[in-house]
Structure 1
Amino acid sequence: MTGSEETSSFRLAYVPGVTPAKWVRIWNERLPDIPLTLLQAAAAEVSDMLRGGAADAAFVRLPVDRTFFSAIPLYTETTVVVVPKDHLITAAEEVTLDDLAEEVLFHPLDDVFDWDSPPGEPAFERPATTADAVELVAAGVGLLVVPQSLARLHHRKDLTYRTVVDAPQSSVALSWPEEATTDLVEDFIGIVRGRTVNSTRGRTAAQPEPQQKRKRPEKTAARQKPAPGKSAGRNPKGRSGGSQGAKRGKPRRRS
């Protein structure tokens, strides 16, 4: 048989801003015979990749369709506003949405926030991508609110960012189709959760141990059970013990 096991691999998608390097390194150390393929995907496209089987699991931005996907939340990002380095906002370490009310704010088509009411003054058009919006910020046309990881991803020397304390936040999770929870997916879940090699790969080997622990007390109890008729001899304060002690004392009186 040519087996799929020989050519098996694990396909991991991730959205912009997520850095999967540390988990990939652990995977390569523990499962060197199973290659891990990284697939970068836009936040709006990653769900379709998982549904269509193009990826086995993915680092996504919440929310996801929990009727189809399983998800393990990992962390929540700080939200920042990207501004030119000479902008007045840089005078403060933190800002609020009210501070941005009179600023032109870009809301790109791949915006990861689900705004009830977008803050700031609307731009003349919506940029197609976050990268395009960053270029417009550098041109001094407006500002951009994004998760901190995206601000770092699109870093420019002429731009900086400040924390927006009351803005929505973006949470990152590991997600996969619930009906496709394979052994390799379980292995990667173990890595993300910080499990050791033994706890990840030895789930079934550890099951017989509780049975051995139950049998040992029975054997010990059996060895400690006193034999019939000998309990009095073990008790020096008992009647039989007293008579035996008297007999052993007679030779001492003769001497």
Structure 2
Amino acid sequence: MTDDPSRPLRVDFVTGVTPDKWVRTWAERHPGDPLDLTPVDGDDAESRLRSGETTLSLLRLPIDRTGLHVIPLYEEAPVVVVAKEHAAAAYDTLDVADLADEVLLQPADTVPAWRDAAPADVLERAATMPPMTVVEAIAVAATGSGFVVMPLSVARVHHRKDVVHRPVTGVAGSRVGLAWRVDDDDPRIEDFIGVVRGRTERSSRGRGSEAATTAAGSGSAKGTGRHTGSERGATPRRSTGRTLPQRGAAPRRGRGRKGR
């Protein structure tokens, strides 16, 4: 399948991804061929790509690679978002296991270390929470009813005055990648790959060699839906044994630095 070359090259990007630098470079190199950029929700990114609604997608990994080429680009640190007055806000950094007694406002399987450390009653309370968007989960966290884990850039996009975010360990980082369909042979795809990878405009690496390199880099994961080890969730870390103080109380000495 080939996209109509007379149409702008369609590129989706999920919340927190900032394609500005690549867009500027593309505009310099292809002034007569503007990009059609669409911000999308992370849950919709893969389906839009597979359906042909977009040509390329800057999305979060892992995804099912069946029928797709994927280039990992960078990894982003996770943070925990809590109410501004929450006891966890007093620390500069937290381990997710230290939040075992707090309700997670997203599916438990997305944060395995918390799921494995949380007591049964807290797991039950978390299970009663309805499905929520990121914005809805942050709004609930602002009431002090729980916490949510997300990439740093997403927390910044959706920042509110009544919440804070803190770096969190024990949670896998969020990987961002560029994906496109294996049956899409629009030649502009390789041009955009060159921009994203920082290849110079006069690079000797042609479109054909770029495609071959990408296919070789996919390895056995291409077309199988399997992911590399680095894309799987991080091994849950053991709890540090730190117990958060009661809300309103100062953190215990030696257990963390007071937040600024």
What TM-score do the two structures reach when normalised by structure 1? Answer: 0.71
Whole-Å separation in 1 of the counterparts to 2:148 and 2:19: 25
After TM superposition, give the deviation of residue 116 of structure 1 in Å.
4.2
What is the letter of the counterpart of residue 149 of structure 1? S
Structure 2 counterpart of 1:126, from 126, 130, 137: 130
Is 1:186 the counterpart of 2:185? The answer is: no
Task: For residue 171 of structure 2, give the secondary structure of its aligned residue in structure 1.
Answer: coil
**Percent of residue pairs bearing the same amino acid type:** 40
Aligned twin of 1:9: 8
Aligned twin of 2:247: none
Flag the 1:114–1:181 CA change in 2: closer, same or farther, 3 A: farther
Aligned twin of 2:104: 105
After TM superposition, give the deviation of residue 107 of structure 1 in Å.
0.3
Flag the 1:104–1:61 CA change in 2: closer, same or farther, 3 A: same
Aligned twin of 1:91: 90
What TM-score do the two structures reach when normalised by structure 2? Answer: 0.69
Task: For residue 62 of structure 2, give the secondary structure of its aligned residue in structure 1.
Answer: coil
Q: Counterparts in 2 of 1:219-234, with a 5 A limit?
A: none
Aligned twin of 2:240: none
Q: Counterparts in 2 of 1:1-255, with a 5 A limit?
A: 5=5, 7-107=6-106, 114-116=110-112, 119=115, 120=118, 121=122, 122-123=125-126, 124-199=128-203, 203=206
Whole-Å separation in 2 of the counterparts to 1:10 and 1:128: 32
In structure 2, runs of 5+ residues without a counterpart are 208-260
Task: For residue 183 of structure 2, give the secondary structure of its aligned residue in structure 1.
Answer: helix
Greater gyration radius: 1
Whole-Å separation in 2 of the counterparts to 1:118 and 1:54: 36
Task: For residue 136 of structure 2, give the secondary structure of its aligned residue in structure 1.
Answer: helix
Whole-Å separation in 1 of the counterparts to 2:113 and 2:98: 15
Task: For residue 104 of structure 1, give the secondary structure of its aligned residue in structure 2.
Answer: coil
Whole-Å separation in 1 of the counterparts to 2:183 and 2:198: 23
In structure 1, runs of 5+ residues without a counterpart are 205-255
What is the letter of the counterpart of residue 13 of structure 1? D
Whole-Å separation in 2 of the counterparts to 1:114 and 1:125: 14
Task: For residue 187 of structure 1, give the secondary structure of its aligned residue in structure 2.
Answer: helix
Relative contact order, higher structure (CA 8 A, sep 6+): 2
Q: Is the 8 A contact 2:12 2:38 kept in 1?
A: yes
Flag the 1:87–1:118 CA change in 2: closer, same or farther, 3 A: closer
Whole-Å separation in 2 of the counterparts to 1:130 and 1:17: 12
What is the letter of the counterpart of residue 146 of structure 2? G
Whole-Å separation in 2 of the counterparts to 1:115 and 1:142: 14
Aligned length: 196
Tell me the alpha carbon deviations over residues 99-144 of structure 1, each in whole angstroms, 9 at most, x when there is no partner.
Answer: 1000112006xx9x74447535343413420100011111222111
Flag the 1:115–1:181 CA change in 2: closer, same or farther, 3 A: farther
Flag the 1:65–1:25 CA change in 2: closer, same or farther, 3 A: same
What is the letter of the counterpart of residue 145 of structure 1? V
What is the letter of the counterpart of residue 47 of structure 1? E
Whole-Å separation in 2 of the counterparts to 1:8 and 1:28: 15
After TM superposition, give the deviation of residue 88 of structure 1 in Å.
1.5
Aligned residues: CA RMSD: 2.1
